Amino acid sequence: MIIKLLMLVIFFGVMVGIGLYCRKHATDVNGFVLGGRSVGPWLTAFAYGTSYFSAVIFVGYAGQFGWKFGIASTWIGLGNAFLGSLLAWSVLGRRTRVMTQHLKSATMPEFFGKRFNSKSLKTVASIIIFVFLIPYTASLYNGLSRLFGMAFNIDYTVCVIVMAVLTGVYVIAGGYMATAINDFIQGIIMIFGIIAVIAAVLSGEGGFTAALKGLSEVTDSTATDMPGAFNSFFGPDPLGLLGVILLTSLGTWGLPQMVQKYYSIKSEKQVNKGMIISTVFAVIVAGGCYFLGGFGRLFADRIGVENGIPVGGFDAVIPAMLKDLPDLLIGVVVILVLSASMSTLSSLVLTSSSTLTLDLIKDNFVKNMSEKKQLRIIRALIVVFIAISVVIAIVQYKSNVTFIAQLMGVSWGALAGAFLAPFMYGLYWKKTTAAACFVSFIFSSVVMILNMLIRPYFPIILQSPINAGAFCMIAGLIIVPLVSIITKKPEKTLVDDAFACYDKKVLVKQTEALGDE
C-alpha cells in the first residue's frame, strides 16, 4: 500500500508541477488553447494518442469487446492504429494545419464559421460539442473507479473528485502546453505499463500458447455455437466487430479534441513524423489493450456469469483479470489508467471550454471581449465543465444507468457523425455548402439522441450506440455531397480565399537563363 500511495503522490506532483511550470505559455488565448502553434511532433503525437485512449478503452471497451469477440478484438486496436492514426494523420493532418492557420481558427466550430462564412454554423457546432462531450467525460471516471476500488478500496466519489481537481489544476495553470507535456509523460507510462501487464497476466495463465488454448475451449451458447470462436481470426461476430472498428477508428476523424491536435503542431513538415509516432503508439497501447481484453473469458469463474454477461457488467472484466497481480504491478496499472484518463479529461475540458468561450459566448453574448477576459472565461468554464461531468459520473454510478462503452458510444457517434464529413469535405472539396454541414450536424445528433431515448424501436443492428454511431459517420459521407449538389453554391471568392493556402507561390533563384527553345 505504501508503494502504491508513493507512486500516486509522485505522479500527481509531477503533473501539477508541469502545469505550474507552463504558465508562461498560457498568457494569451493562442498560447492557452493551441500552445502558440509551436508544439513539436513528439508532444503532438503523444497528445493525440493519450487523448484517443483512456480508461474507457482500457476498462470499458477492452472488457466488453474482448468478452464479445475474444482474441479477434485485437483487430479493433490495429484499426485504431492504421485507420484512426496513420490514415487520419495522412488525410487530415497537413491540410488541417495549413488551412486553420490561414483562416486563423483555433477551434473546430471557428473553422466551420470561417470556412463557410456562417456564424450560425459555428454556434450550432459549439453547442453540439459542449452537449456531447459531457457524457464522454463522465464515462472516463467510471473505469478509473473500478481499478481504484480494487487497488485501494477507496470510495468512488473520492476517486472522481481527486482526479477532477488535479486535472483541473494543471490545465487551468498551463493550458495546452501543460497538457501536451503531461500527455507525453503519461504516454510513456501507458506504453511500458500495458506491456508489463500483458506479460504478467499471460504468465499467470501459463503463457501465451496455454492462454490461447484455454480460450479455444471456451463455449457460450448465448453468443455463438461455433467451437473455438473466441480464439478465431474474426471471432464469433465479424459484422459486429467491423462496426466497432469503424466507430472507434474513423470516429477520431471528426472528434474536435482529436482534430485540434493538428492545429497546434509546429509546422506542416512535422506532420509526417507525428503520424509515424502516433501510429506506433496506437499499435502498442490500443493493440495491447484489446489483446489483453481478448483473454477475459479465461477469468469467467472469478467474475461470475449470468446469461452470458459478466456479473457486475463488462466493466468488471479487466479489474478481475488484474486483481491477483503483485502490488507493484497493480500500482503500475493504476498509474497507467490514471495517465490515460487524466490526459483524455484534460483534452476534453480544454476543447469544450475554449469552444464555448470563443465560438458561443464571444460575439453572441459578450461583445468586444478582451484577450484577458477570454482567458478568464475559458478557465472558469473548465471548472464548470469538470463539475458537471463529476456530478453526472457520480449519479450514473450510483443509479447504475449504463455501461462505459454505451456512454462513450453515444458521444462518439454524435460528434463523429456530425463533424467527420463536413470537416473532411471542407478541407478538400470546394463545392461543400454550409447547408450540407447543417444537415449532417442535425442528422447525427437526432439519431444518437433517439438511440438513447427510444433504442428498442431502432432496427436490431442499430440498437447498439456503437453501430448507430458508425451508421451516422457513413451516412454523413453520403449526405454532405448530396445536399451540397442540390443547395446554393458557396461564393467563389470565399472558397478561393480558403483554398489559396494550398497554392502558395514560391520564388526560386534562376541560375541559368533559358531561351524559348
What is the tens place of the pLDDT at every residue in 312-354? 778 788 888 887 788 778 777 778 877 877 888 888 888 888 8
515 pLDDT above the threshold of 70: no
Q: How does residue 484 score in pLDDT terms, banded at 50, 70 and 90?
A: very high
Tally of domains within the chain: 1
Here the cell at position 504 is: 502558395
- The pTM of this model reads 0.86
- Residue 248 and residue 70: Cα distance in Å, rounded? 17
Q: Quick one: angle between helices 94-103 and 492-499, nearest 10?
A: 120
More confident residue, 265 or 503: 265
Q: Which of 262, 304, 291 lies closest to 99, judged by CA?
A: 262
What is the tens place of the pLDDT at every residue in 419-469? 999 999 999 999 999 999 999 999 999 999 898 888 888 888 888 887 888
User: What domain range is 304 assigned to?
Assistant: 2-401
Average pLDDT over residues 350-363: 85
More confident residue, 22 or 434: 434
- Residue 78 and residue 72: Cα distance in Å, rounded? 11
Predicted pLDDT at 143: 62
Q: Is residue 239 part of a domain?
A: yes
Q: Is residue 409 part of a domain?
A: no
Q: How does residue 162 score in pLDDT terms, banded at 50, 70 and 90?
A: confident
Among 125-134, 142-151, 385-394, 476-485, top mean pLDDT goes to 476-485
Reduced to 3 states (helix: H, G, I; strand: E, B; else coil), residue 147 is: helix
512 pLDDT above the threshold of 70: no
CB neighbour burial string for 358-379, b if at least 16 within 10 angstroms, e if fewer? bbbbbeeeeeebeeeebbebbb
Average pLDDT over residues 138-158: 70
Q: Is residue 502 part of a domain?
A: no
Q: Is residue 439 part of a domain?
A: no
Q: Is residue 505 part of a domain?
A: no
Q: Are 457 and 392 contacting, i.e. CB atoms less than 8 angstroms apart? A: no
Predicted pLDDT at 339: 80
Non-local CB neighbours of 94 within 8 Å, separated by 6+ positions:
268, 271
Residue recorded with cell 506504453: 191
- Residue 469 and residue 412: Cα distance in Å, rounded? 7
Q: How does residue 78 score in pLDDT terms, banded at 50, 70 and 90?
A: very high
Domain containing residue 236: CATH number: 1.20.1730.10
38 pLDDT above the threshold of 90: no
Non-local CB neighbours of 223 within 8 Å, separated by 6+ positions:
68, 229, 236, 237, 308
Sign of the C-alpha dihedral, residues 331, 333, 335, 337?
Answer: negative
H and E: helices and strands count for the chain: 23, 2
Q: Is residue 499 part of a domain?
A: no
Average pLDDT over residues 263-290: 91
More confident residue, 93 or 389: 93
Predicted pLDDT at 291: 94
More confident residue, 87 or 159: 87
Residue recorded with cell 488553447: 33
Here the cell at position 25 is: 505559455
Predicted pLDDT at 115: 94
Predicted pLDDT at 509: 66
Q: Is residue 449 part of a domain?
A: no
Q: Is residue 490 part of a domain?
A: no
Average pLDDT over residues 297-316: 82
Q: What is the DSSP string of 283-294?
A: HHHHHHHHHHHT
